[in-house]
Amino acid sequence: MFNKRTKIKQLLQAEQAGQEVTVMGWVRTFRNNQFVALNDGSTNNNLQVVLELGLFDDATLKRITTGASIKVEGIVVASMGKGQSIEVKAKGLEILGDSDAERYPLQPKKHSLEFLREKAHLRFRTNTFGSVFRIRHSLAFAIHKFFNEKGFVYLHTPIITASDAEGAGEMFRVTTLPIDGTAAKNEDGSINFKEDFFGKSTNLTVSGQLEGELGAMAFSEIYTFGPTFRAENSNTTRHLAEFWMIEPEMAFHDIEDNMNLAEEFIKYLIQYAMDHNREDIEFLAQRLAEEEKQLPLDKRSELGLVEKLEFVLKNAFERITYTDAINILLESSHYKKKKFTYDVQWGIDLQSEHERYLVEKHFKKPVIVTGYPAAIKAFYMRMNDDGKTVAAMDILAPGIGEIVGGSQREERLERLEQRMKDMHIPAEDMSWYLDTRRFGTVPHAGFGLGFERMVQFVTGMTNIRDVIAFARTPKNCEF
């Protein structure tokens, strides 16, 4: 069998000298025609392979270049060199794939993140992105583990929909109609979508929430975890056009139950990564510390990455109302010294700078803000008794601002219909959604967690494009 091999991580952890092994991987460095640093992606730590001088012909040795893939059969021995406790003394060597040393982009030196974004098809081979994507995998696994242990049903909601869950209108259209202007038109000149594949206007989903609510009305608790799409022309370090969302929906839950679950969920994910990816987190912590040395003192984080994650695990999230948040901002020296770019007044949608001030400067820990003005929130959020605010909640995290958005949903049919009317949402198009309020409505709630922002938080990466394999952003759809 060809693939009878031992992974490098397993080998380094076992530290068992004397065993015969087969290892395969990609060459990181080759020095003195004798020492190969080999990596197979299971860990950032390289395995040193020692080639006995004279055992392999010169033609083979010349093919051992950075980026080449090799298969080595040998014996594990105690290492005499620094940096590793064991190494493999090669008895057999096979070149599986050559790599042109002149053309291979990832030479053994430090590369900028900007450069690596242009080489996204190869950047997984670097230590930084090896750590990021192993952590991303662990977090994805932990999401399913958390909800499975709680008895939630994993619901696959559609990627192609005919509804705009957010009411924002920033959607990618899905169509088979010709784009050269020859598509059939209605009398008023608009596109006749009856001739389209689905017979109506359709788009890529911005959220699985509305369909998720349908599932919660039968299974009590469901969650979705899949890609979502926003055609928002936002070229920032926080936004993607294609990203992954986790959206649980729970019947018989109110806003407090919702907050409790979201806080427990975030802490569970962080703890899982700390337990299973400690080595990768510590590597990224060191990388972040080196990066922050280049920043002015007032721009540096007060806590290192590991300390930040441990702090979140040990402390209850602060819970305040939107009105409290506005008052804190208005009373802040930051506001009085006009350091905010955006104005602060009751009724605004909090900007990232406001959220980060609350979290990083005022409370110095994650914050859950509730009771937002109805005017800036979606139609499905439950109206509070004051008639001005809704039972919404956002969780704000250090470094990135909003990481979770959710609410208790409006379960009262008349209130929901009125809200839709006020926001000019056609009730006839949403009859299927309103049926959940007509037939056995219950108090229910849910939230959405942007997966990439969660990965950012755990890895300390400052640009969201560095925590997804192939970023989709305005004017960028490579690979």
Decide if 33 contacts 1 (C-beta within 8 A). Answer: no
**Distance between CA atoms of 465 and 1, rounded to whole angstroms?**
39
**Distance between CA atoms of 397 and 363, rounded to whole angstroms?**
11
The structure's pTM equals: 0.94
Please compute the mean of the pLDDT values over residues 238-251 and round it to a whole number: 95
CATH architecture of 8-109: Beta Barrel (2.40)
Q: Which of 176-180, 236-240, 356-360, 416-420 has the lowest mean pLDDT?
A: 236-240
Domain with CATH 2.40.50.140 in the chain: 8-109
Phi-psi region of 475 (alpha: psi -120 to 50; beta: other; left: phi over 0): left
The 367-373 sheet, strands edge to edge:
153-154, 221-229, 242-251, 444-450, 401-408, 389-397, 367-373, 318-321
Q: Is 248 helix (H, G, I), strand (E, B) or coil?
A: strand
pLDDT in tens, 260-294: 999 999 999 999 999 999 999 999 999 999 988 88
pLDDT in tens, 139-198: 999 999 999 999 999 999 999 998 776 655 589 999 999 999 899 999 898 999 999 999
pLDDT at residue 302 greater than cutoff 90: no
Please compute the mean of the pLDDT values over residues 24-50 and round it to a whole number: 96
pLDDT-derived band at 1 (thresholds 50, 70, 90) equals: low
pLDDT-derived band at 400 (thresholds 50, 70, 90) equals: confident
Angle made by CA atoms 121, 126, 128, in degrees to the nearest 5: 110
> Closest Cα partner for 86 from 45, 53, 56, 34?
45
- What integer pLDDT is reported at residue 294 of this predicted model? 84
Please compute the mean of the pLDDT values over residues 328-351 and round it to a whole number: 95
Q: Is 406 helix (H, G, I), strand (E, B) or coil?
A: strand
CA distances 301 to 306, 360, 460, Å, are: 12, 9, 11
Decide if 70 contacts 27 (C-beta within 8 A). Answer: yes
pLDDT in tens, 343-367: 999 999 999 899 999 998 999 999 9
Q: Which residues pair with 30 in a beta bridge?
A: 36
Q: Which residues contact 221 (CB under 8 A, 6 or more apart)?
A: 147, 150, 151, 152, 153, 248, 249, 250, 251
As a whole-number percent, the residues of the chain with pLDDT over 90 amount to 84
pLDDT at residue 34 greater than cutoff 70: yes
How high does pLDDT run on average in the chain?
94
**Distance between CA atoms of 379 and 392, rounded to whole angstroms?**
11
Q: Is 335 helix (H, G, I), strand (E, B) or coil?
A: helix
Decide if 382 contacts 367 (C-beta within 8 A). Answer: no
**Distance between CA atoms of 357 and 339, rounded to whole angstroms?**
11
Q: Which amino acid is at 141?
A: F
Question: Does domain 125-171+206-466 bear CATH number 3.30.930.10?
Answer: yes
Domain with CATH 3.30.930.10 in the chain: 125-171+206-466
pLDDT at residue 17 greater than cutoff 70: yes
**For the stretch 101-132, what's the b/e string if a residue is b when 16 or more beta carbons lie within 10 angstroms of its beta carbon?**
eeeeebeeeeeebeebbeebeebebbbbbbbb
Q: Looking at beta carbons, which pairs linking 300-308 to residues 24 or more positions away fall under 8 Å?
A: 301/398, 301/399, 302/360, 302/364, 303/398, 305/281, 305/459, 305/460, 306/281, 306/282, 308/398, 308/399, 308/460
> Closest Cα partner for 361 from 339, 393, 392?
339
